[in-house]
Amino acid sequence: MPTGEIVIDLGAIRSNFRWLKRQLVLGSELAAVVKADAYGLGVERIVPVLAEEGCRVFFVTTAEEALVVRHVSKHSTIYVLNGITESQDWELYSRDYGIRPVLNNLNQVDQWLEVRGAGELAAGIQLDTGMTRYGLTEAQLTPLKKRLEGGVVPSLVMSHLACAEDELHWLNSVQMRRFKHFVDVLDLGQNSGCILSLANSSGIFLGEGYHFALVRAGAALYGINPQPEQINKMAGVLNLRAKVAQVRFVDSPTTVGYGATHQINARTRVATVPVGYADGFLRALGGRASAYIGDTCVPVIGRVSMDAITLDISGVPEAVDVETEPVELIGPRRPVDVVASEAGTIAYEILARISHRIRRVYIDEVGGE
């Protein structure tokens, strides 16, 4: 273990995919969102596993990410959420690699129509029903419809929920109604040949009315709780662990770390672990998080450095060899959602920021059911 390692259970991802699929209304398909290197967990290992489980549609953010998915999955449908960006050669991406842009504005629609020519290049269209980020607004539906005249049908029409993890949020049903209305205006409903998609992971739990033909799940596949108000039903996917680099016995008053923010007055054992914010252990966790050594929960004391943290391991029994025992920083007893709330952020950010100095190790365990 050079600095730290993250053990990723592909079997847990498999079982999360199967379980989420079972929650969908009949006729709705589960797509996997694997942007940002599958939320930092390694797209090249995760896509083949999901494909084996029957996943046929993948979403990424950029064309470069799409090429990586295509490299490990020859036959899947791949959508690029950022759509066409100028510098990219869409003839190549679309024609040679079969990668589909999600068109987010009229400019992108025009570029696509130009590239497409008389051909059949597929693309998705994003509608803005309340995110105010990407997608065409209600005012742009008429110009869009004009451009689609003559039987040009996008392969996908999607929108994105802003508050899906909050089941009672007023915006959820507003977005759903707008989505349906926009689709009606565009004549892209049933029998148009266009696939409709609204829900992310959390959107699945808002009810079957949110599922439409395709659900785009990311977070829940990777073990993040899609229903933060309830017990997490997803299988835990990762274990971020490290080894103690050094132990110091402190027996006179002293302070720990940058800014001398932690004061030690009584006899204390302090362990230094070579994982810091450059590894993705966020600085905000200093003085807030804890870790496990054996069965003992130990607090992170003082500030998080770029390359190290310090733990008060006074409570670890003498019988435990702290030099060899792995230190669990994120894992079954330190769920990523808990770590995130200690850092004042969301689990998505914790995952996406685990740096590549942390070695990825893959196992395939839970899936044997």
Binding residues (CB under 6 A) for ligand PLP: these are 33, 35, 81, 160, 200-202, 216-220
Radius of gyration for the chain, computed over Cα atoms and rounded to the nearest angstrom: 24
Give CA–CA dist 89/282, Å, rounded. Answer: 37
**CB 32 within 8 Å of CB 17:** yes
Instruction: Please measure the distance between the N-terminal and C-terminal CA atoms of the chain and give it in whole angstroms.
Output: 30
Least Å distance, CB 124 to ligand PLP, is 10
Q: Which is nearer to ligand PLP, 73 or 82 (CB)?
A: 82
**CB 148 within 8 Å of CB 186:** yes
Q: Which of 97, 258, 292, 348 is catalytic?
A: 258
Structure tokens at 318: 């003498």
Q: Is 258 a catalytic residue?
A: yes
Q: Which is nearer to ligand PLP, 64 or 114 (CB)?
A: 64
Quick check: helix, strand or coil at residue 357? coil
Q: Which is nearer to ligand PLP, 3 or 201 (CB)?
A: 201
Q: Is 145 a catalytic residue?
A: no
Least Å distance, CB 44 to ligand PLP, is 19
Q: Which is nearer to ligand PLP, 33 or 103 (CB)?
A: 33
List all residues 6 or more positions away from 247 whose beta carbon is below 8 Å from its beta carbon: 269, 270, 271, 272, 313, 322, 323
Least Å distance, CB 180 to ligand PLP, is 18
Mutual angle of helices 43-52 and 63-72, in 10-degree steps: 50
The residue whose Cβ lies closest to ligand PLP is: 218
Q: Which is nearer to ligand PLP, 293 or 340 (CB)?
A: 340
Least Å distance, CB 204 to ligand PLP, is 9
H and E: helices and strands count for the chain: 11, 19
Least Å distance, CB 35 to ligand PLP, is 6
Task: Give the pairing type, strands 238-242 and 327-330.
Answer: antiparallel
Quick check: helix, strand or coil at residue 363? strand
DSSP letter at 235? P
Q: Which of 35, 93, 210, 292 is catalytic?
A: 35
Residues with catalytic roles? 35, 258
